[in-house]
Amino acid sequence: MNEMSSFWSGWITFIALLNIFLCVWMLWWCQRKHDDDVPEGESMGHSFDGIEEFNNPLPRWWLGMFYAGIVFALLYLMLYPGLGAYKGALGWTAVNQWEREIQKADNRYDRIFEDYAKVSIEDLSKDPEAVKVGQRLFGNNCALCHGSDAHGAPGFPNLTDTDWLYGGDPETIKKTITFGRNGNMPTMAAAVGDTADIKNVAAHVLSLSGRKGSGDAEAGRAKFALCAACHGQDAKGNKMLGAPNLTDNVWLHGGDEASIIETITNGRSGAMPTFKDKLSEEKIHVLAAYVYSLNK
């Protein structure tokens, strides 16, 4: 976050204090007698709809509340942020308040997560209460990309099926959450050839899952040898590299012909962030159990 400039800090401070000064001035002005011809308590000669104005002083209780509000505002601005870049005598910020709340929650719930961490991910995935806890962790940390139902979106894997880029066993899931993943398919246009060659390779890829493309799938088979280094000769993928299985009709970036041609031509890249610095090992353990439970 950028620091506030001295100009804006001074301007905000000026506006805040000016408003308080104007409130004090208004109270002083309203207490003065502005019409010496009308004795206190007498009518000012103005009336409307049965309501008549009298030359009476402001009620003391009303003045007292107004002055108390002004004193409160000044004390607040001394203790808390409000005058430009001034941080307040207490040093309060929304961030450190949030950190205190997180610390308080950690102190309260850490023992629960420590108990969960003693149970294997397989067994934990069968515990309804642990799964609910993992679901809340998922909602707070993973749903933005994978969706609240974990069905994913283009470029973000569906976690409810049995198709895994890097493996769906408990320890691999935990490793993925802990350290993240970086996937990259390089652009293959130059290596494959011209537009017709790319269309032929796309047709061959479509044929692997029982579909047809507009190109020559047989001609594309020979060119596919360039792709086999990652996807394998049988095109069933390589979990060590995160290379997807091309025979199961499950597609991360779209499985129609146009999307496959786009992938071959320009490549694809994706990254899942690491959570080892955001979540404790015990929380990652519970989160992994929830993800593992999704396709069971």
**Phi, psi values for residue 271, rounded to 5°:** -145, 135
Q: How many of the other CB atoms lie within 10 Å of CB of 104? A: 10
> Taking a C-beta distance cutoff of 8 angstroms, is the pair 42, 55 a contact?
yes
What are the pLDDT tens digits along the chain (296 aa)? Answer: 567 789 999 999 999 999 999 999 988 888 776 556 778 778 888 888 889 888 887 888 999 999 999 999 999 999 999 998 898 999 898 889 999 998 888 888 888 999 999 999 999 999 999 999 999 999 999 999 999 999 999 999 999 999 999 999 999 999 999 999 999 999 999 999 999 999 999 999 999 999 999 999 999 999 999 999 999 999 999 999 999 999 999 999 999 999 999 999 999 999 999 999 999 999 999 999 999 999 87
Measured in whole angstroms, how far is the alpha carbon of residue 18 from the centre of its chain?
Answer: 38
Read off the pLDDT of residues 260-292 as tens digits, 9 standing for 90 and up.
Answer: 999 999 999 999 999 999 999 999 999 999 999
**Residue 13, H or E segment:** helix 6-31
> Taking a C-beta distance cutoff of 8 angstroms, is the pair 268, 187 a contact?
no
- For residue 83, give every residue at least 6 positions away whose Cβ sits within 8 Å of its Cβ, in sequence order, or none: 9, 12, 13, 16, 17, 77
> Taking a C-beta distance cutoff of 8 angstroms, is the pair 278, 106 a contact?
no
DSSP assigned state of 84: T
Residue ranges in 52-93 assigned as alpha helix (H): 60-79
**Phi, psi values for residue 242, rounded to 5°:** 80, 20
Q: What whole-number distance in Å separates Cα of residue 36 and Cα of residue 212?
A: 99
Q: How many of the other CB atoms lie within 10 Å of CB of 4? A: 14
Q: How many of the other CB atoms lie within 10 Å of CB of 277? A: 7
> Taking a C-beta distance cutoff of 8 angstroms, is the pair 179, 276 a contact?
yes
Q: What whole-number distance in Å separates Cα of residue 237 and Cα of residue 185?
A: 12
Torsion sign across C-alpha atoms 268, 172, 109, 152: positive
Q: How many of the other CB atoms lie within 10 Å of CB of 228? A: 13
Q: What whole-number distance in Å separates Cα of residue 60 and Cα of residue 165?
A: 75
